[in-house]
């Protein structure tokens, strides 16, 4: 018998048809650098030695040139959080985002967020050990390609520890009041102040800011206050908003 070879012809998407070498089989190599993300088509037909054209066959294929991108927007690494916290972030990919997942147990388990390109995940930090923790972010695009990212979150559910040695209860002063004690926090005290209220007359409380230090030793001038009985409350706050009175 006589063996004949067909002439294969193909095109990608809407580009012009390209003729290949004749043969019973063929291979088309297309550099990824010449392609774009999303769906594409390849169309092929063959022409025999008599010039008769066969039917066109079209196949769809998908391309993802890079992993989906994503990041945590808030909370930032320089802040501390406590209680129920909304972790907010963003994700993007030319092929679209299928889902975003967050892990707070070193990647052992993941929970899906609310939203995709802009997403939110609410976590109760009281069930997580305090300190700096790693947040893993797993993003999957619509073609199943996954990107993995990480960030840090500072958790602080512990209120400052405050001890006041002076002034003593029922003590008297001629205008200068000595504050002595200590103020400690596992992350750090950011604000320390005394609230002074007149117990005999209704009036607005007076706030006296104190120096933030582990050892409290400060003299507060109260000579501008009228004589009377006062209640003094010492308050310490940390960066996460935990407060001790």
Give per-residue pLDDT as tens, 104-131: 999 999 999 999 999 999 999 999 888 8
The two tokens of residue 146 are 């996954």
User: Do 137 and 148 touch, CB atoms closer than 8 A?
Assistant: yes
Q: What is the pLDDT of residue 72?
A: 95
pLDDT classification of 102: cutoffs 50, 70, 90: very high
In the predicted model, what is the mean pLDDT of residues 192-206?
A: 81
User: Do 162 and 236 touch, CB atoms closer than 8 A?
Assistant: yes
In the predicted model, what is the mean pLDDT of residues 124-147?
A: 92
Kind and range of the H or E element at 154? strand 146-155
Looking at per-residue confidence, does 26 or 58 come out higher?
58
Per-residue pLDDT at 2 exceeds 50: no
Nearest CA among 225, 120, 140 for reference residue 177: 225
Give the separation between CA 46 and CA 233, rounded to whole angstroms.
Answer: 91
Going 200 to 205 to 207 to 213, the CA torsion angle's sign is positive
Nearest CA among 154, 165, 161 for reference residue 236: 161
In the predicted model, what is the mean pLDDT of residues 92-99?
A: 92
Q: What is the pLDDT of residue 4?
A: 56
Looking at per-residue confidence, does 2 or 186 come out higher?
186
Give whichever of 8-22, 26-40, 63-77, 179-193 has the largest mean pLDDT: 63-77
User: Do 138 and 61 touch, CB atoms closer than 8 A?
Assistant: no
Single pTM value for the model: 0.66
How far the first Cα of the chain sits from its last, in Å, is: 102
Nearest CA among 37, 42, 82 for reference residue 58: 42
Mean pLDDT of the chain: 86
Per-residue pLDDT at 13 exceeds 80: yes
The two tokens of residue 218 are 């400060």
Nearest CA among 132, 125, 142 for reference residue 91: 142
Give the separation between CA 53 and CA 173, rounded to whole angstroms.
Answer: 109
CA dihedral 33, 34, 40, 43 (to 10 degrees): -130
Per-residue pLDDT at 167 exceeds 90: no
Looking at per-residue confidence, does 99 or 4 come out higher?
99
Give the separation between CA 19 and CA 201, rounded to whole angstroms.
Answer: 99
pLDDT classification of 134: cutoffs 50, 70, 90: very high
User: Alpha carbon of 10 to those of 19, 26, 155, 157: distances in Å?
Assistant: 7, 10, 59, 64
The two tokens of residue 119 are 């997403």
């Amino acid at each position: 018998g006589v063996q004949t070879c067909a002439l294969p012809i193909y095109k990608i998407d809407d580009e012009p048809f390209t003729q290949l070498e004749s043969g019973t089989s063929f291979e088309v190599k297309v550099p990824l650098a010449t392609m774009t993300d999303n769906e594409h088509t390849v169309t092929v037909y063959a022409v025999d030695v008599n010039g008769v054209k066969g039917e066109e066959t079209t196949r769809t294929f998908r391309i993802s040139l890079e992993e989906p991108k994503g990041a945590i927007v808030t909370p930032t690494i320089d802040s501390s959080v406590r209680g129920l916290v909304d972790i907010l972030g963003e994700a993007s990919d030319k092929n679209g985002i299928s889902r975003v997942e967050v892990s707070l147990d070193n990647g052992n388990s993941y929970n899906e967020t609310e939203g995709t390109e802009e997403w939110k995940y609410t976590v109760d930090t009281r069930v997580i050990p305090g300190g700096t923790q790693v947040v893993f972010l797993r993003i999957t695009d619509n073609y199943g390609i996954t990107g993995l990212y990480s960030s840090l979150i500072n958790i602080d559910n512990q209120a400052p520890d405050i001890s006041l040695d002076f002034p003593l209860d029922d003590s008297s002063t001629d205008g200068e009041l000595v504050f002595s004690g200590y103020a400690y926090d596992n992350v750090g005290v950011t604000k320390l102040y005394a609230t002074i209220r007149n117990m005999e007359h209704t009036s607005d409380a007076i706030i006296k800011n104190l120096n933030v230090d582990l050892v409290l030793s400060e003299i507060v001038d109260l000579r501008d206050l009228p004589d009377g009985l006062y209640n003094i409350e010492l308050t310490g706050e940390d960066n996460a908003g935990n407060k001790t009175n």
